[in-house]
Every structure is written in structure tokens, then in C-alpha cells.
Structure 1
């Protein structure tokens, strides 16, 4: 094979490898998205009982939310996020309302247990816990920069349950789900004005400002953006893409 033939052969091999990697990534995302209940792999996370707070967690999908649940999400989002978004909230709220009912939107709901007796198990060890929703996580399996990731769209808790360790507990669960499903990272967006959230993710959970965040991509124009993209990576491929080198 002459030099020209070798170059063409390498080019074809490279294209084939790129297509194979893309197909593999798509299959990983599809498999993760088809799982109906990601909590099923982590039964120890079904209940939370710390700091005088007791809760039951369950899973949901955006296209199967009840009207009451949709209204609850809308109200909690407005309560928690209107101030950090400021003048951008009116437009952002419309986007979030569409996002929350999409089929690909995965949820973990936190139900407060008000009566200890409600934790009784049925004959088949099915949890009978009931209680009002006091928070939720909205997450999705997506391809970001050619890497399969869990993207956390929302982590929202009622103000009265803040400071009980629940946010950290939920993010640990999301990270376990990400690893179980073969994702390379957990990625999320935080409003820069939301200083409590920024401190929570960076100082307490050891997330970092990603290399794909506006402030990293363009240090001159980045500060004009109202948000940062944070990440925690789990493999070398994701680390090479998302972490600042």
C-alpha cells in the first residue's frame, strides 16, 4: 500500500471509530432512559431519616405527572428561582414549564412522612409510605460534548426542609445513578446570583466550574453570562472534556 493509500485507510478507520463511538454513546443513553425506576438499584435511598426529618423517595417521568404535581413544581420553582433569575425569570419560567413535562424528564420526588405508622410494609415488602411532596430532582440522560452525562435540570426543596442534609443525599443518589448507568459525569447549571447554591455544589459537594462554562470558554465575555456550568466527572474521557486543564 502506497503512502496515499495508507492515509486514506487511516481516515476511513478514524471515521469508523467515530461512528462506532457515537453509536455506543447513543446506546448508553437509550438504555439509561428506558429504566423506569432508577431507585430500584438503590433501595437504601428509598427513605431518608436524619435531623428530625423523615421522607420517602420515589421516581417519576415528565409525561406522566399529575396536574397537582405539575402545579406543585411550578410553584416551588417560582418560589426558589424567581429571585436568582431576576428579570430573566419570565422567559425562563416558560422554558422550564415545557421542560418539566417532557418524556425524557426523569424525576425523584421527596415525600415527607408525617406519620411513622405509614411506613408499614405490605406482604410483598412494597412501601406504603404516603405524604406531601417537599422537593424534587429533575434530571436527564443526555450527550454533552460527545460524552454521556446526567444533566441535573433542577434540585428544588421547600425552604422549611433546607439544612437537613437532604440536598447532599439527593446529589449522592444522582451520582450513583450516573455511575450505574455508565455516564461519564454529572453536569448542572447554576445561576451566579444564587450564591448559596454555588457554595453548596463547589464547597460541599466538590463540583468544579466546567471547561464548557461561559467563564472558562471566554474569560472576557463569560462574566457577562448569568450562570456557570458545574461538573463532577467519573472517567478520563469526561475529565478531558469537562475539567479545566
Structure 2
């Protein structure tokens, strides 16, 4: 009598049962995997998965358009018209941390070191070139690079020196889908021309086109100039900005930085046509 038939009852062979269970588990895992593969990626992951060649026309279609800014003649190479201003052409380039040319990457790092290393040194974070470089190379980091000049016939920008840059990431912050501005820095000669405003406008425009909730950034309280700039841009202290902490000895420790944010919507008066 087969071992599966005992006392008039039909019983399952244990090894056969285990094989059947294994097949069912494998099939279930495969179906689950196929289901996940067929589901659309969440917005943040879907956006970051795009190669830069697709990201540009989808979320930064105006990036190829040159723009003009008025500059005092004492900040230009031509001083033939004193006490007047002149217009000059500027362009923006967009890169990922992987595609940014090494010379541009080093120029961006140099601007951070020039304009902000002292602020880092005087903060609780401290200044660490290696940590900053590591942050700058995060896979989803993107760079808006500003230069003086116009587009070439092949739509590339003339390799003029970098005047400023803004780095940003499409990411999550406290469960919200945001565009986070990591850095915005201008060379001394480019400050006060409206170039920082143009970089920020472009960053916000990208965030709106992606469909994100808000723009966020971090600023040291000691950087009063940057604080005033962000206020003019419409930023305010975010609800998740760190609060003062009371230490065991009763001393209240104030944070040395703030997290600022700005909601992204189509009726924003900061936006221009």
C-alpha cells in the first residue's frame, strides 16, 4: 500500500507537500515582482531615473535660452561708457553629478570654499572639504551653471569662466516631495547683478514642472546677506526648522542654521513671464 493511503484516509506525502509549497511561494514571489515592475515609480524616483538628456526638455525647457542682465560698466571689461550700465548675455547649463565636467565641478567647489567655508567653520557643522565633495557627488544631485556669453551654433555654451551655480535635488523631506536647493554661490564679480535671482527662478520653475510641493534650503543664521536674499525670494522658516533646545543645566541652545521653504504654485508673484 502506498504510504499516502493509511487506514482508509488519503494523506499527502510530506516531501511532495514541501515541493508544492516551494513552487507556490516561488510563483507568488514572481507574481509580486512582476506586479511591482508594472507599477509606475513614485514621482521623485521617476524624475531622478531620467537621464539628463530627457530631464532637460521635460522639466527645464527654457534652459537653452540665453538671458540678459544689466551690469554697471565698472563691472564689465569695457569702461568706455562710465556711469552707465550695459546689457550682457548669460547662459545656464544643467548637469548631474555624474555628467558635470571635472573643471566645472572644481570651480563650483572653489566658490563654496571662497564664499562659505568661514561660515561652516564658525558653525556646529564645521568645514570639511572631503565631506562637502562627497555631498556634491550624490547621485541625484544636479547643477545649474551660470556663465557669461551666448549659445554656439550647436546649442552648447562658450566655455567662459563659471560666474555662479545652484545645486539642487528632487527628493523627500519630512515625507514631502520637494526640490531642495543645496548650494547657491556667486563669484564676487557676479554679485548684485540679478544672477542669483535667475538661478533661483530656474530652480523653482523646475520644481513646478516636476509637480513638487515646495522648494527648501538651509541657511546659516550668520549669513545675513543670504537671509535677506531668500526673504526677497519669498522664503520663510519651515515648520521643520530646528527649534531651540534646553540643556540639562538649563541653558537654551539656539540652532545656528534655519531650514527655509517656499510653496510652489502657479500664482507665485516671484515668477515672471
TM-score (structure 1 length as normaliser): 0.73
**Match of residue 105 from structure 1:** 141
1:142-153 equivalence runs, <5 A: 142-153=171-182
- Residue equivalent to 1:64: 99
- CA drift of 1:192 comes to 0.5
Please, which runs of 5 or more residues in structure 2 have no aligned partner? 1-38, 72-87, 266-273
Give 1:34's aligned residue: 49
Instruction: Show structure 1 runs of 5+ residues with no match.
Output: 1-22, 236-245
SS of the aligned residue for 2:184 comes to strand
The list of structure 1 runs, each at least 4 consecutive aligned residues, that deviate by more than 6 angstroms after superposition, is none
Partner of 2:17: none
Distance 1:58 1:140, change over 3 A: same
Question: Is residue 113 of structure 2 the alignment partner of residue 81 of structure 1?
Answer: no
Task: Find the aligned partners of 1:103 and 1:201 in 2 and give their Cα distance.
Answer: 26
**1:193 aligns to what SS in structure 2?**
coil
Q: Evaluate the alpha carbon distance shift between residue 151 and residue 176 of structure 1 in structure 2; reply closer, same or farther with a 3 A threshold.
A: same
- Residue aligned with 2:227, SS: helix
Residue aligning to 2:3: none
Contact 2:120 2:127 in 1 (8 A): no
Relative distance call for 1:107 and 1:214 in structure 2 (3 A) is: same
CA contact (8 A) 2:69 2:90 kept: no
Tell whether the 8 Å contact from 2:63 to 2:94 is kept in structure 1 after alignment.
no
Q: Which has the higher contact order (CA 8 A, sep 6+)?
A: 1
Give how far 1:92 is off: 4.2
Question: Which residue of structure 2 lines up, in the alignment, with residue 43 of structure 1?
Answer: 62
Q: CA RMSD in A?
A: 2.5
3-state secondary structure, aligned to 1:96: helix
Deviation of 1:48 after TM superposition, in Å, equals: 2.4
Alignment of 1:1-245 (within 5 A): 27-35=42-50, 36=52, 38-40=55-57, 41-43=60-62, 46-52=65-71, 53-88=88-123, 90-113=126-149, 119-122=151-154, 126-127=155-156, 129-202=158-231, 204-215=232-243, 218=244, 224-234=254-264
Shift of 1:146: 1.0
Task: Return the alpha-carbon distance in structure 1 between the equivalents of residues 102 and 156 of structure 2.
Answer: 24
Q: Count the aligned residue pairs.
A: 202
Cα shift at 1:50 = 0.9
1:119–1:128 Cα contact (<8 Å) kept = yes
Separation in structure 2 between the aligned mates of residue 137 and residue 193 of structure 1, nearest angstrom: 20
Deviations 1:168-200 (A, max 9, x none): 111111111101101100000001000000010
Deviation at 1:223, TM superposition (A): 5.8
For the residue of structure 2 that corresponds to 1:43, the secondary structure is: coil
Whole-angstrom distance in 1 between the partners of 2:213 and 2:197: 20
Task: Select between 170-179 and 45-54 the one with higher mean Cα deviation.
Answer: 45-54
**Bigger radius of gyration among the two:** 2
